[in-house]
Structures are given as structure tokens and as C-alpha cells.
Amino acid sequence: MRRRRAIPWGARPPGFPAGKGVRVVVVDSGVNPRHSHVGGSVDGAGIYRGEDGEVHRGPDYRDTSGHGTAIAAVIRHVAPKADLFALKIFNGALVTTPDVLEGALSYALQAGARVVNLSLGMEAAPNAPSLRALCRDAARAGIILVASERNGAKGASAPASYDEVIGVRGDGRLGEDTLVYCPWGPCECLASPWPRSLPGLRRERNFRGNSFAAARVSGTIACLLEESPDADLDTLRGMLREQYGRESGISRSKMRQCFESSSHFRESIRGE
């Protein structure tokens, strides 16, 4: 295994990439822009299912659980100059349905997204063709989708397992500024599963999980795109492999087949 470079993390010298000019859409429980770890201007919207059973968009992206704010805080620490945009699909329970997620992705395609952070997942969904189609549309439009594996998943997670998505899993053995790119595995990237520390709160009592590994990857990609603004998904994967990868003769598709063979679909999506 060759030595990997650390991801950008916190303060850095002038001239180093910080995600400037890159819009990162955070699809989660909303964002509190006044939180000290977020800072700066954050715009957003809420995507929800109304009483009529249809999916609607509204102006409320206030975070009532803190999960989306903690995700945004990690992205901000990695890419402090990125333009964050919140799409709220979760309330306190951090559970939604595929049609609401599809509504959020559809809107992200219109909202100038360059990177979409999806710290959420469901067990692999063969019956969700609209979600897969939206992921394909995003990739064709040059939008980079980053999704966390479902915590505790026994099979493949959607949308993290899709070819059009960069899947991420947390690994508690990794340092907070470490990223490992594994193109042959069911999830391409491994990173720390911990959020930023809060004064006076023990780490074990805070959020943790694959969500925060995905946020690290989204922030890192925003920094890479500042330097290479025209990079598409294939080009970006090559950049991740060059800077953070390890070599293997096992193909990603073969490894993924082993996981997908035992997967099944659940009609809910959870924040991870």
C-alpha cells in the first residue's frame, strides 16, 4: 500500500484549494447556518410529502435534529469556501421515502449542484427505477453524487452502490483527515465516521456513522473540483485513485456482485 495524502482539514495556507466556486447540496435534515461550525451563508429549501400525498417544495430548511448541521460542519471544515445549499428531507426521525428523495435529487439538478451529499441509504432497491434514473441524469449533467452506505447494512445500499454514485463507508480506525479510495469494493471510499468535536461533549455521545465519512468525501471532492472544474465522474474517480487509492486486481463490479446477491429492498430511507 502506498502512502496516501491527507484530505484538506481545517485551516490551510493561502492558495490551497478550499472548494471555492463549488456548490455542494446537502440532502439531509436541513442546516442551521448560524451554528459556529457552519458559519457563512447557507441557502436551502424543504422537500416534503404533503397531505395530498404529493411531493412539494417549501422554504423551510431549519434543522430540528442537528444531523444535517453536523454533516454541513464536516463539509465546511474540509471545504470552507464551498457554497453550501441545504435540501431538507428529514425531520427528527431521520426517515423519509423514495419519492421525497427523488424530489430532492430532481430539484438539486435545477439548483446548480456540482456535488450532492447524500448521507442516507436504504437496502438495495431493485424497485426504485426513478431513483436510479435520476442518478444517471445527474452523472450525465456532470453532478457528482456522494452517498453513505446504510449503517449496519448486510447487503448493498442504495444509492451508494449505484455506478453513478461514489459510495462511502466509515472506518473508525482512520484518522479524521484520512481518505482511502478502494475502487474494487462495494463502497469506493473509506473515511472517518466521526463528526467534528463539540466542546464539553464526549465523542461517544455525539452523532457518528457512515454519514460523516460521506461528508468528508464530499468536501474533498469540492476541493478537487476547484482545481479541475470541468472534471466529470470518470475523471474525478481517476483523481481520487491517484491521490488516495490503493492497488488491487479485484474489480469493483465483481466485489459488488457478492454484496448485491443477498440484498433486498425496504421502502424507507434513513439518514446514516
- CATH number of the domain residue 245 falls in: 3.40.50.200
Q: Assign residue 30 a region (left: φ > 0; alpha: ψ between -120 and 50; beta: otherwise).
A: left
Per-position b or e across 120-132, b if 16+ CB within 10 A of its CB? bbbbbbeebeebb
- For residue 253, tell me if it sits in a domain: yes
Q: Which residues pair with 245 in a beta bridge?
A: 181
At 169 the pLDDT is: 93
**What is the per-residue DSSP string for 202-221?**
-GGGS--SHHHHHHHHHHHH
Q: Range of 246's domain?
A: 23-193+204-271
Number of domains in the chain: 1
C-alpha span between 14 and 19 (Å, rounded): 13
- For residue 9, tell me if it sits in a domain: no
- C-alpha dist (Å) from residue 23 to 15, 27, 68, 119, 247: 19, 13, 16, 16, 31
Per-position pLDDT tens, the chain of length 272: 444 578 998 888 888 999 999 999 999 999 999 888 898 789 999 999 999 999 999 999 999 888 999 999 999 999 999 999 999 999 878 888 889 999 999 999 999 999 999 999 887 655 678 899 999 999 999 999 999 998 766 667 889 999 999 999 999 899 989 999 988 777 899 999 988 765 665 665 556 689 999 999 999 999 999 999 999 999 999 999 999 987 543 344 433 432 332 222 234 455 55
- For residue 198, tell me if it sits in a domain: no
- For residue 50, tell me if it sits in a domain: yes
- For residue 130, tell me if it sits in a domain: yes
The answer to whether residues 245 and 179 touch, using CB atoms and an 8 Å cutoff, is: no
- For residue 246, tell me if it sits in a domain: yes
- For residue 15, tell me if it sits in a domain: no
At 151 the pLDDT is: 75
C-alpha span between 64 and 30 (Å, rounded): 8
- For residue 186, tell me if it sits in a domain: yes
